[in-house]
Structure 1
Amino acid sequence: MNAIEDREKALEQIYFRNSEMAFKVRSRRDRLLAVWICGMTGAAEALRERMEASNAAATQDIARQPSP
């Protein structure tokens, strides 16, 4: 491979990682908003607990991401 192809592959990997991280951040934001709304509206406690457990799993996934 020449330098241009190497750079192209590197940029594709960066784009993929950034896209994946943006998706995870949006998902986490949406879950946190849902938990907050459940608390405000007095929704079922079971739903709120399930959302919080899901949020904890997503947080662990984000924390495990290797830094570039």
Structure 2
Amino acid sequence: MAEAEAIQGNYNGKGVLDEVDVKGVTWTRYTAETGTVYMYTKAPCGKTVHMFFDNGITSDDALPMMENVVLK
């Protein structure tokens, strides 16, 4: 997803881009070397949804919260 690639550019191209599935929704995840995690997906209405987890919480720790997100 272009938004995740743009954020990666802010970190000099370092870090990891991958995709994760959360309750049937595919999210593009960018994990910076600092531990900060950015998550992106498209809602059914076509808008981009963005979640940000600072280095104090991992995407695995945030998974229960993400599972409660309803995209419309």
TM-score (norm 2): 0.24
Per residue, is there more helix in 1 or in 2?
1
Larger RCO, structure (CA 8 Å, separation 6 or more): 1
Q: Which has the larger radius of gyration?
A: 1
